[in-house]
Amino acid sequence: MEKHRLDFALINKVNDYIAEVIIDKDVELTIEKTEELEIFLCALFNSDFGLLMNKINHYSYTLEAQLSLCSREQMKAIATVFYNEKGSKTTQDIVRLRANDKLNVKEFSGLELGRQNALLWLESALINED
């Protein structure tokens, strides 16, 4: 697994079409940081890809970041792995806020083999996208 580091996140390239992102503890994701992350991810992959957001750390989003997050065409599916209710609520809030965009997002509990199930779902979601 390839590992990459941004100032605010660790990115694990799981395979040729899935990246795992772990945002650092207590980071506030701004529109600039989300754009930096998405530009990096699009450069990392030659084609469509899925994203596993591993919410092991507590972090927050600005409203502008929530409105622009995951807007790249190459990003076909997003799995979030949460470890507490706050992590789940944040994802649900973003999905609700972006309902018109019909983001392909699914949540998984980290306390119930969430990472493994998220990876399986991403692989299935990306295969069915073709």
> What domains, with CATH codes, occur in the chain?
2-129 (3.30.750)
- Residue 95 confidence (pLDDT) above 90: no
Average pLDDT over residues 58-81: 88
Closest of 20, 89, 7 to residue 50, by C-alpha? 20
Place of tokens 């596993």: 52
Per the prediction, the chain carries an average pLDDT of 90
Higher pLDDT, 89 or 36: 36
- The per-residue pLDDT for range 1-40, each reduced to its tens digit, is 899 999 999 999 999 999 999 999 999 999 999 999 999 9
- Note if the pTM is more than 0.85: yes
- Residue 129 confidence (pLDDT) above 80: no
